[in-house]
Amino acid sequence: MAEIILAIDQGTTGSTVAAMDRKGRLLGSVNVEFPQIYPKPGWVEHDPEQIWASVQKALSGLLRRGVAKPKDIVAIGITNQRETAMLWDRDSGRPLNNAVVWQCRRTTDFCESLRAAGHEPGIRRKTGLVLDPYFSASKYRWLLNNTTGVGRRVRQGKVAGGTVDSFLLWRLTGGLVHGTDVSNASRTSLLNIKTRRWDDDLLEVFGVDKSILPTVLPSSGILGVTKGVKGLPDGIPITGIAGDQQSALFGQACFEPGEAKCTFGTGSFILMNTGDKLLRSRAGLLTTIGWQLGEAGPVTYAFEGGAFVCGAAVQWLRDELGIIKKASEVEALAKSVADSGGVEFVPALAGLGAPHWDPEARGLISGLTRGSGRGHIARATLDAMALQNADILRVMESELGKRLKPLRVDGGAVANNLLMQLQANYLGRKLIRPKVIETTVAGACFLAGLGVGLWQNKSELSKVWQVDREFKVELSAGARARRLQAWNRAVARARLAG
């Protein structure tokens, strides 16, 4: 009998179901998109039933292809969009409202009121997170205050709440398990990341009733078994759960302190393993839980920093400026010039994230001359994608007090070899691109495989993870310093522009 692990990767715009074998080979995957809901400017919602339908459709599509037979599936892993919050009825399992998505900014005023009242230092100390509408706590509060009849149901114990992983675990187990893993729980602003328990003081500050929250579980272990899932037999163990970025860190086999990964997507997400010690950033990084292997296992923590606009900058060149027709054209256009010719593009199109956290910063293109052309702007865009990541990673090195090990990269943009070389040059560290770049899926499979004993330990997984290509530094230290100085001047101007 084949031994197949099924991964459910539930993302912001769609759900992917993939299959992996014992050798770490991805055997196939199916992605199904679902609608985005924008009730008001700055508001983003999802219908939880459409999320579940997309998972079911992706699952049935994968099974129809014959990639995995139900009898061969030994475990299921879940990875998911983080911070998105929802409520559902404990009796029927039906959603009580649309989910409030991580991108949604509807609770900005409430978060500002907490900041004005002096709550931010305490929240940051306990959660490792900044006070921001991005995280789940204020979303739960909004749902509890704006869902018809929910107060009575909460008092009756009939309301369940959770992030996307909790909802999927509930549905996969036929409503028998209401749980969340520590990595997802650490993104809510309600978990004390030292004790790994829901914090009563935080619950009071955010106005969230503890009774709605799921049980906090490890990221790997027997977390539940399937019941009543169309296409699957009952009893398949669900043995791995992690938020998408933590799953990518695990899927990149970043098992030692100082190992880091950068996911190049719409934005870029950088996580660095900091080991079993809870380190607190002094420079605008988030502290988050990476994973916990087994109920009695130690917790691995991570620093996290993100740039809001990464691949989205290339989309902006395509959709708004019209200087390319397809995103894939940007590499050739950028290679048509030797460098950016002094042009700087700071893609603060949605403010600046870590380490600046400046929501008022504005996008800026500077250094234009009569000789500046499309190629220079394209090159400046790739430069910016790499330079903003270098800013974050240098802060991580400083905070950890260790030199960064080679950076592992994933995401769609890693196919751009020029971008990868620029990233290595500006960071001054080697980059490693793995053979399997679907690292969120890989992480979910690795966690699930450990949980069911398909792999015995992380050392076995390190052998499963394989390198596709390495990018070595090709820029002198002096040239790097000059390039970073020019970039820092441009960032300062972008912050003044706000």
Ordered structural domains, the chain, with CATH? 4-245 (3.30.420.40), 254-498 (3.30.420.40)
Is pLDDT of 183 > 90? yes
Phi, psi of 448 (to 5 degrees): -65, -40
Give the separation between CA 5 and CA 18, rounded to whole angstroms.
Answer: 8
Give the separation between CA 365 and CA 381, rounded to whole angstroms.
Answer: 10
Instruction: Identify the pLDDT of residue 96.
Output: 96
Instruction: Identify the pLDDT of residue 68.
Output: 83
Q: In the numeric block, which tokens belong to residue 78? A: 């879940």
Instruction: Identify the pLDDT of residue 226.
Output: 96
For 448-489, the pLDDT digits (tens) are 999 999 999 999 999 989 899 999 999 999 999 999 999 999
For 8-62, the pLDDT digits (tens) are 999 888 899 999 999 989 999 999 999 888 998 888 899 999 999 999 999 999 9
The rounded percent of the chain whose pLDDT value lies above 70 is 99
Is pLDDT of 498 > 70? no
Give the separation between CA 422 and CA 28, rounded to whole angstroms.
Answer: 32
Q: Which residues contact 459 (CB under 8 A, 6 or more apart)?
A: none
The rounded percent of the chain whose pLDDT value lies above 90 is 67
For 185-230, the pLDDT digits (tens) are 999 999 999 999 999 999 999 999 999 999 999 999 999 999 999 9
Give the separation between CA 308 and CA 327, rounded to whole angstroms.
Answer: 18
Instruction: Identify the pLDDT of residue 86.
Output: 96
Which of 99-108, 247-256, 470-479 comes out lowest in average pLDDT? 99-108
Task: Give the residue, 308 or 327, on which the prediction is more confident.
Answer: 327
Q: In the numeric block, which tokens belong to residue 386? A: 């790499």
Strands 4-10 and 73-80: parallel
Is pLDDT of 296 > 90? no
For 53-96, the pLDDT digits (tens) are 999 999 999 999 888 889 999 999 999 999 999 999 999 999 99
Give the separation between CA 244 and CA 75, rounded to whole angstroms.
Answer: 18
Confidence of residue 400 (pLDDT cuts 50, 70, 90): confident
Is pLDDT of 1 > 60? no
Instruction: Identify the pLDDT of residue 15.
Output: 93
Q: In the numeric block, which tokens belong to residue 496? A: 């003044």
Entry pTM: 0.88
Q: Which residues contact 136 (CB under 8 A, 6 or more apart)?
A: 83, 84, 85, 163, 187, 188, 189, 190
Average pLDDT of every residue of the chain:
91
Confidence of residue 165 (pLDDT cuts 50, 70, 90): very high
Which of 186-190, 349-353, 414-418 comes out lowest in average pLDDT? 349-353
Confidence of residue 172 (pLDDT cuts 50, 70, 90): very high
For 353-388, the pLDDT digits (tens) are 777 777 778 888 999 999 999 999 999 999 999 999
Give the separation between CA 132 and CA 145, rounded to whole angstroms.
Answer: 18
Give the separation between CA 321 and CA 317, rounded to whole angstroms.
Answer: 5
Instruction: Identify the pLDDT of residue 246.
Output: 96
* Pair 193, 278: CB distance under 8 Å: yes
Residues paired with 198 in a beta bridge: 191
Give the separation between CA 45 and CA 449, rounded to whole angstroms.
Answer: 33
Is pLDDT of 287 > 70? yes
